[in-house]
Every structure is written in structure tokens, then in C-alpha cells.
Amino acid sequence: MSRPMSADSRAVLVQLEECAKTIDQLEAATGIDKKRLAYMLWNLRRLGWVTIAKLLKKQRWRVRVYGLARRVPPEARQARPTRYSPPDHIALLNAAFRMGPPPARPRARRIRGVR
């Protein structure tokens, strides 16, 4: 099973769904710093979500305009819940049998032979 998409990646894809944008426009729209945004766009390009739509030449610099390579599915647009909750029927069974999560184990080191 694949990893869920991060909230920042979803925000970038939603912005690119409207129209192709440069990294400066994405920074202004999402509020993510350029260094993180550049790495995220590189990763999304490698995964096949984003492509370079145009390459603009501004004097000595080349500016990449990023666009979507494929449409974003509706599940990816929605934010995932931060905490896992079991389905209703599991919660009902746990309540009926008075079951809960297992007790937390102590995290201390134990040295054998010493009391």
C-alpha cells in the first residue's frame, strides 16, 4: 500500500490544477518556502504527478513553469484524518467485551542479574 500524500503536496497539486505556475507563484499561493517546494516538485515530478509545462528564458536565467501531468483524484484532494479510529463495528465489539488498547509497556532498560 502506498504512503498517503502529505498536506503540502496536496496543496501544491490543487494549485497546479487551476493553471501552470512557476515556483515563485506556488510559494506565494501555498506559503511553503522555496527550498522545500523545489524538493517537493522534484519528488512529484519523479512520481509522475507534475511535469514542466514551459521553460521561460529571462535574460540569463531559465524559469520552469510547472503543470499537472495527470488529474488529481478526489481522494488525494481531501485531507486525511490525523488519528486512526477503528470502524464502528469494531468499536461496538470492543465496548461489548470491555476491551481497550493494550497497556503501555515500561520503556526502561533492564539489566539482567541486577535487582
Q: Dig out the grid coordinates for 50 from the structure.
A: 507534475
SS3 category, 17: helix
Residue range 63-85: average pLDDT? 71
Residue 15: closest CA among 79, 77, 81: 77
**Position 88 confidence tier, pLDDT thresholds 50, 70, 90:** confident
CB atoms within 10 A of CB 27: 16
**Given this model, what pLDDT does residue 1 score?**
41
Most confident of 2-6, 23-27, 56-60, 97-101: 23-27
Distance CA 37, CA 32 (A): 6
**Given this model, what pLDDT does residue 81 score?**
61
Edge-first strand listing for the sheet containing 61-68: 21-22, 61-68, 50-58
Query: Which residue ranges form the domains of the chain, and what is each CATH number?
Result: 7-81 (1.10.10.10)
Per residue in 15-50, pLDDT (tens digit) is: 998 889 999 999 999 999 999 999 999 999 998 889
